[in-house]
Amino acid sequence: MPGIEKLPLEETLEDSPQTRSLLGVFEEDTAAVSNYCTQLYQAMQRIYDAQMFFVFTEILTLKEVFQIASDDHDAAINRYSRLSKRKDNDKVRAEVVEDVYTSRKKQHQTMMHYFCALNTLQYKKKTALLEPLLGYMQAQVCAHTHCSLDY
């Protein structure tokens, strides 16, 4: 690499000022890279924690809504089962049947949203590991083949 001094292995055994200087520069560079990696890891961890907090909060909210919808559905089924079998109360029967239909539809929609959120969480957990790994692999391939990272 142009502009960068190299330290041949044979010269490392000598205790010269040039060797000490180059080793000092190397130590400073490795400390800077290590510090950068640590800060990057901490930033990514904060982002990941914030995303997981948001997702779990959303899932808990959906779980509560699903529980409410299930309770409403159970109450509607209970009212329907208590109806008498005689035909003299058709209006009440129609209202209760409509109640059961509406509560079942609401429960189903809530259940679909809840399962969708769970699937999204599962997908995010998979991609949270894979995306940085693939990015690192791409960077390594480009570093060794001298390609550009432009997409």
In the chain, where the domains are located: 16-145
Residue 72 one-letter amino acid: D
**Do the beta carbons of residue 69 and residue 102 sit within 8 Å?**
no
Q: Is 85 exposed, middle or buried (0-12, 13-18, 19+ CB in 10 A)?
A: exposed
Longest Cα–Cα distance of the chain, Å, equals 109
Give 81-136 pLDDT, tens digit per residue. 888 776 667 888 888 889 999 999 999 999 898 888 888 888 887 777 777 777 77
Query: Can you read off the two tokens belonging to residue 33?
Result: 């890279």
Look at residue 144 in the predicted model and tell me its pLDDT: 75
